[in-house]
Amino acid sequence: MADTIAAIATAAGAGGVGIIRISGPDAELVLRRVAPGLPAVVESHRLTLARVVLAGQVVDQALVVLMRAPRSYTGEDVAEVHAHGGAVHLGRLLEGVLAAGARAAGPGEFTRRAFAAGRIDLTRAEAVADLVAAEGERAVRVAAAQLAGGLERRVRGLRAEVVALLAEVEATIDFPGEGLELIERGELSRRAGLVAAGARALAQSFRVGRVLRDGLEVALVGAPNAGKSSLLNALVGRERAVVSAEPGTTRDFVEARVSWAGAAVTLIDTPGEREVGGVEGRALELARVRAEQADVRVVVVDASAGAGGVGVGVGANRRQVTGDRGQAPGHEGGSGGSGGSGGGEGRAEVVVLNKCDVVGEAERALMRERVGAAVEVSALTGAGLGELVEAVLGAVGVAEGGGDETVVVTSARQAELLAGCAVAATAASEGAARGAHEELVAADLRAALVALSAVLGEGVGEDVIDAVFARFCIGK
Task: Dump the DSSP string for 325-341.
Answer: -SPPSS--SSSSTT-EE
Segment 411-440 mean pLDDT:
96
Q: Which residues contact 339 (CB under 8 A, 6 or more apart)?
A: 296, 331, 348, 349, 350, 391, 392, 394, 395, 396
Which CA distances in Å does 394 have to 350, 389, 433?
10, 8, 38
Residue 321 · residue 200 · CB < 8 Å: no
pLDDT at 37 over 60: yes
What pLDDT shows up at residue 119? 94
Q: Mention the CATH class of domain 127-205+410-469.
A: mainly alpha
Q: What is the DSSP string of 245-287?
A: SSTT---S-EEEEEEETTEEEEEEE-PPP----HHHHHHHHHH
Least confident of 171-185, 337-351, 436-450: 337-351
Whether 103 and 5 have beta carbons less than 8 Å apart is answered as yes
C-alpha torsion sign, points 392, 397, 401, 402: negative
Residue (of 473, 447, 7) closest to 195 by Cα position: 447
How many H-runs (helices) and E-runs (strands) does the chain carry? 17, 13
Sequence letter at residue 355: K
**Domain limits, the chain:** 5-105, 127-205+410-469, 215-395
The values of phi and psi at residue 199, to 5°, are -65, -40
Q: Are 272 and 222 in contact (CB under 8 A)?
A: yes
The answer to whether residue 333 scores a pLDDT higher than 60 is no
DSSP letter string, 13-30: S--SEEEEEEESTTHHHH
Question: Where does 313-381 show beta strands of DSSP type E?
Answer: 340-341, 348-354, 375-376
Residue 400 pLDDT grade (very low, low, confident, very high; cuts 50, 70, 90): low
Mean pLDDT of 138-153: 93
Distance between CA 264 and CA 218 in Å, rounded? 11
| Of the candidate ranges 59-73, 239-253, 422-436, the one whose mean pLDDT is the lowest | 239-253
C-alpha–C-alpha distance, residues 8 and 233, integer Å: 40
pLDDT in tens, 194-203: 999 999 999 9
Tell which wins on pLDDT, 33 or 225. Answer: 33
The CATH H-level superfamily of 215-395 is: P-loop containing nucleotide triphosphate hydrolases (3.40.50.300)
Distance (Å, whole) CA 312 – CA 149: 51
Distance CA 364, CA 399 (A): 27
Q: In the predicted model, is pLDDT for residue 453 greater than 50?
A: yes
- Of 46-55, 287-296, 302-311, the poorest mean pLDDT is in 302-311
Prior bond to 70 cis, omega within 30?
yes
Q: Which residue pairs, CB below 8 angstroms and at least 24 apart, start in 375-382?
A: 375/338, 375/350, 375/351, 376/303, 376/352, 377/231, 377/352, 377/353, 378/354, 379/227, 379/230, 379/231, 379/233, 379/234, 379/354, 379/355, 380/230, 380/234, 380/355, 381/357, 382/234
208 phi/psi in degrees, rounded to 5: -80, -40
104: left (phi over 0), alpha (psi -120 to 50) or beta: beta
What CATH number does domain 5-105 carry, 3.30.1360.120, 3.10.20.30, 3.30.420.40, 1.20.1640.10? 3.30.1360.120
Q: How far apart are CA 386 and CA 181, in angstroms?
A: 60
Q: Is the pLDDT of residue 406 over 70?
A: yes
| pLDDT of the residue at 313 | 42
Average pLDDT of the chain? Answer: 84
Residues of the chain with pLDDT > 90, as a percent, come to 55
- Furthest-apart CA pair in the chain: how many Å? 87
End-to-end CA distance of the chain: 16
- How far are the Cα atoms of 28, 144, 363, 383, 451 from residue 75, in angstroms, in the given order? 14, 21, 69, 56, 27
Is pLDDT above 60 for 249?
no
Is 205 within 8 Å of 406 (Cβ atoms)? Answer: no
Give the confidence band of 367 by pLDDT, cuts at 50, 70, 90: confident
By the 10 Å C-beta count (0-12 exposed, 13-18 middle, 19+ buried), 468 is classed as buried
Is the pLDDT confidence value at 471 over 90?
no
